[in-house]
Amino acid sequence: MSRHFIHLHQGDRKITVVAGYDRPLRELFLHVMHDNDAGGREETFLFDSLDARGHDWTDINTVADQLALLAIEVPASMIEGIFLDQCFNAGNRVVEHYVDQPAVVRAAG
C-alpha cells in the first residue's frame, strides 16, 4: 500500500490528509483527520473513504473531487504521486508532501 500524506491547517484546526493506493484491493483511499487536542495525539476522522462506498475509488478524480468538496487543497504532486502509484501498481511507498517545498520519500519498497 502506498501512502502520501500532508499536514495542513484548515481554519483554526490542524489536519492531516493521507491518501494512496491499496495494491491488494486495487483501489485508492483517502483519510482526512484532525487532532482533537484531547490531551494527546488522538485523531478524529473528518472523512474516511471506507465510509464512502458509493464512489469509484479506482479513479484518481474521485480523490481530487472529494478533497475539493472538503475545501482542502493539496499540492498537485500529491495527486500525481498517488496516480503514478496506481499506474505502476506500487506498494510500500510513503511520501510526505509540503505546500512550499518538494515532496520527500520516507520509504520505498
For the question of whether the overall pTM of this predicted structure is more than 0.85, the answer is yes
Strand ranges of the sheet holding 43-48, from the earlier edge strand across to the other edge: 43-48, 27-35, 13-22, 3-10, 94-96, 104-107
Rounded distance, CA 41 to CA 88, Å? 34
What DSSP string runs through 20-78? EEETTTTEEEEEEEEE--SSSS-EEEEEEGGG-TTS-TTSHHHHHHHHHHTT----HHH
Q: How confident is the model at residue 88 (pLDDT cuts 50, 70, 90)?
A: very high
- Helix crossing, 60-69 with 76-87: angle to 10°? 150
pLDDT tens, residue by residue, 28-38? 999 999 876 55
Is the pLDDT confidence value at 39 over 70? no
Contact 69, 30 (CB under 8 A): no
pLDDT at 16 over 70: yes
Q: Would you state the pLDDT for residue 40?
A: 56
User: What is the pLDDT, as a whole number, of residue 44?
Assistant: 87
Kindly tell me if the per-residue pLDDT of 53 is higher than 90. no
Tell me what pLDDT residue 41 has: 60
